[in-house]
Amino acid sequence: MLSSAAVKIGLMGCGVVGSGVVKVILENGEHIAQRLGRPIVIKKVLELQPDRVIAAGLEASVVTDNYLELVNDPEIEIVVELMGGIEPARTFVLEALRQGKHVVTANKDLIALHGRELLETAQEKGRDFYFEASVGGGIPIISPLKQSLAANQVQEVMGIVNGTTNYILTKMAREGLPYQEVLQEAQSLGYAEADPTSDVEGYDAARKIAILASIAFGTRITFPDVYVEGITRISPLDLAYGKELGYALKLLAIAKEENGEIDVRVHPAFIPVNHPLASVNDVFNAVFVRGDFVGEVMHYGRGAGQRPTASAVVGDIMEVARNAQTGSSGRISCTCFEQKRVKPISEIMSRYYIRMMLKDRPGVLASIAGVFGNQEVSLASVLQKRTEGDMAELVFVTHQVQEGNLQDALKIIGGLSIVGSINNVVRVEGETD
């Protein structure tokens, strides 16, 4: 039955995203009520700093420092968790679900680690657990994967899902500057945090691809399942050489299904400059999906920030409220129907860019090519770049090869006396052989 009573929600956390959610609900209240048939009212806010809640435009009377006041309030239909981190968020969310609340969250750390427990608890209680904002900020991606694209068997999800690293790589590529210098600038501009580890080491992206892969392939993928490399070893030389080869370099979050097995990883990768992801620059995010019927689709937008993230959170609140209104809560619950094996990195297939310093003399290239050949690593191209004393810098690009074979070859090559150093190895994605 449709009811015109307000949807009462409890907000956990009134930081950047939380106060954005308050803004959406206050500024667009009429618009939302029109679409939903009833207004959204924030009844309580769990927050240890009441001034944040007041600054966001709410009355001091809604603030509490006790989460039980939200989860035990019979009038609150939806708990919106925006505290971030694992604990106490996990305890609070589980308790909210057990008390019959629906939950909306933007907490990727929590879902990428405890998604199963949370979704199963929601399912047992017949409640909704929505998390569109956990990946890609305001970009609709989780809901399209579960709904409009649901008829497809997804073959591949590939995304630029971390704005900080995309900003750094874009700037390094445009201006030829080294990583450390750009990182410091990004920190001073507020695009990177004082401790940038989670972004630059790829952990943030890994959590997001774990969530997307779980939905796309119908199997539970958690954060520890994801192979991760960050961007700290990328040099302006790699960007320049890649450009000459027709590639852009991005920190890609990749998930593929092949023969019922999952390949899921985050690492810097070259993609052809005409690939749709190649022109996703600065802090923008995009998620590229390949399905067996839809072909290629890409969703692009601002993957972080107060307003875009709040947009996705309130979109979820509206959807959950609609379900509650029509008695259809739990209409789309956990979609992890199977348990598929996650391949170790040694089993994946990829193309590779390898930059190394070699003795600049006859026969050296033949030796290196011989080692690659013996390990079944087939080379697509070799370019000599610059010389330094008696050493020459060479860039090799391989065909599709198995990572294990490449690593074996590199181990052997690294031990040869004709080799000065293997300076970098970058996977090449987004093109067939």
Catalytic residues: 208
Query: Rounded CA gap, 380 and 319, in Å?
Result: 50
- What tokens does 391 get? 């050493």
- Listing DSSP states for 106-172 in one string gives --HHHHHHHHHHHHHHHHHTT--EE-GGGSSTTS--HHHHHTTTTTS-EEEEEEE--HHHHHHHHHH
Q: Which stretch binds its own copies (CB under 8 A): 168-176, 223-231, 285-293, 409-417?
A: 285-293
Instruction: Name the DSSP letter for residue 222.
Output: -
Q: Answer whether 189's CB lies under 8 Å from 164's CB.
A: no
258: contact with its own copies by CB under 8 A: no
Choose, by CB under 8 A, the member of 197, 279, 374, 381 that binds its own copies.
279
Q: Residue 60 or 151: which CB sits closer to its own copies? A: 151
Query: Rounded CA gap, 331 and 384, in Å?
Result: 58
Give the type of residue at 46.
L
CB atoms inside a 10 Å sphere around CB 143: 17
Site for its own copies in 29-88 (CB under 8 A): 31-32, 34-35
Q: Residue 298 or 364: which CB sits closer to its own copies? A: 298
Handedness of CA 425, 190, 138, 206 (dihedral sign): positive
Site for its own copies in 123-182 (CB under 8 A): 132, 138-140, 143-144, 147-153
Site for its own copies in 303-322 (CB under 8 A): 305, 307-308, 310-312, 314-319, 322
Shortest separation between residue 142's beta carbon and its own copies, angstroms: 8
Q: Residue 130 or 223: which CB sits closer to its own copies? A: 130
Shortest separation between residue 227's beta carbon and its own copies, angstroms: 26
Give the orientation angle of helix 108-124 with respect to helix 89-98, to 10 degrees.
20
103, with CB counted inside 10 A (0-12, 13-18, 19+), is buried
Choose, by CB under 8 A, the member of 39, 50, 218, 236 that binds its own copies.
218
Question: Alpha carbon 415 to chain centroid distance?
Answer: 36
Q: How many residues bind its own copies (CB under 8 A)?
A: 59
The three-class DSSP label of residue 400 is coil
- What tokens does 26 get? 């206050």
Site string for its own copies, 331-360 (x = CB under 8 A): xx--x-x-----------------------
Q: Residue 115 or 202: which CB sits closer to its own copies? A: 115
- Listing DSSP states for 45-59 in one string gives EE-S-HHHHHHTT--
Interstrand relation of 379-388 and 78-81 (parallel, antiparallel or unpaired): unpaired
- What tokens does 109 get? 């750390």
Q: What CA–CA distances, in Å, run from 426 to 79, 94, 99, 356, 399? A: 43, 41, 49, 12, 13
Shortest separation between residue 261's beta carbon and its own copies, angstroms: 17
Q: Which stretch binds its own copies (CB under 8 A): 23-31, 80-88, 89-97, 256-264?
A: 23-31
Shortest separation between residue 333's beta carbon and its own copies, angstroms: 10
Q: Residue 144 or 420: which CB sits closer to its own copies? A: 144
Q: Which stretch binds its own copies (CB under 8 A): 19-27, 89-97, 104-112, 264-272?
A: 19-27
Q: Residue 131 or 352: which CB sits closer to its own copies? A: 131
Q: Residue 136 or 230: which CB sits closer to its own copies? A: 136
Which positions touch its own copies (CB under 8 A)? 20, 23-24, 27-28, 31-32, 34-35, 132, 138-140, 143-144, 147-153, 218, 276, 279, 291-302, 305, 307-308, 310-312, 314-319, 322-323, 325-328, 331-332, 335, 337
